[in-house]
Amino acid sequence: MNTLLLALPVFPFSSTSEHKLEFSCSSYTTFPKLSSAIALGQVVSRLRRYGVRISGKWSFDNLFAAFAGVDAVGQKLAQKIGGSAQDAFKETFTSVNFQWVDGACGAQTDRCYADAKSFPNTIKFYSKWWATNTLALATPPVDFTLAIHEIGHAFNSRTIGIFNQDVANRGINDKTGFGLTVGAKGQSEVTADLFTNYVLGTFTGPGLGGVNLPGFMDTNIVTWVNLASTP
């Protein structure tokens, strides 16, 4: 049988631009190369182990990128609360729907690819984005850093906003020390990018005022997970 080898990200990796990453690959997931439908089904099956459902017409590449983001979050949470990556993710988020939307995100002045505004249930990923007020195809519409960023917003929603409040109260209100900047401006975007850099280990130094960013996250992550996992 012919097979298609697809690399899962193994960290650390180096950032080559704001949205594109090069990562080293030492573990691989094998999917049958019989048809794109079978390969897509394999990813759907694996996402279900994390409590993630999908809706809409996903391509294999986009869904695999979303899966890589879910897996990275699960692995990081498992390091802190124990258990498998799948169990840690499910404990924290219970049930998540990744919805593919054939359309653009927001108004013509927006520059978003995805949003978690429908959480606690749904994170939406969009097929198009507004570029200089002209509807254009987003290229690429999904990468795993974007998925992690949106999961960060979802994490804040699960804590009823306490995650974002604690980050603001600690004085982390800009992206100083962040190796990755996926989101836009504003406190909620800072918080989601803080989550992304924590998951991926991409902090480049202390935050505003000398805050130890990974230390702050390590100190509070179990408390936030307990809040998130409370029905």
| pLDDT above 90 coverage of the chain, percent | 57
pLDDT digits (tens, 9 = 90+) for 120-136: 788 999 888 777 667 66
Measure the CA–CA gap between 51 and 68, rounded to whole angstroms.
14
- The per-residue pLDDT for 7 is 37
Looking at residue 137, its pLDDT comes to 66
Where are the strands (E) in the chain, listed by range? 3-7, 10-15, 21-24, 28-32, 52-55, 96-104, 114-115, 122-131, 134-137
What the block records as the tokens of 7 is 């690399």
pLDDT at 140 > cutoff 60: no
Assess contact for 73 and 38: CB atoms under 8 A: no
Residue 231: pLDDT band by 50, 70, 90 thresholds?
confident
* Single pTM value for the model: 0.82
pLDDT one-digit tens code per residue, 151-173:
999 999 999 999 999 999 999 99
pLDDT of the residue at 71:
96
Mean pLDDT of 56-67: 92
16-38: pLDDT as tens digits: 223 333 333 233 344 344 456 77
Q: Count CB neighbours of 43 within 10 A.
A: 22
Residue 86: which domain range? 3-228
Question: Domain total for the chain?
Answer: 1
Q: What pLDDT was estimated at residue 132?
A: 65
Handedness of CA 5, 50, 222, 185 (dihedral sign): positive
pLDDT in tens, 165-202: 999 999 999 999 999 888 778 999 999 999 999 999 99
Confidence of residue 225 (pLDDT cuts 50, 70, 90): very high
The contacts of residue 189 (CB under 8 Å, 6+ apart) are: 183
CB atoms under 10 Å from CB of 163, counted, come to 27
Q: How many CB atoms lie within 10 A of CB 132?
A: 6
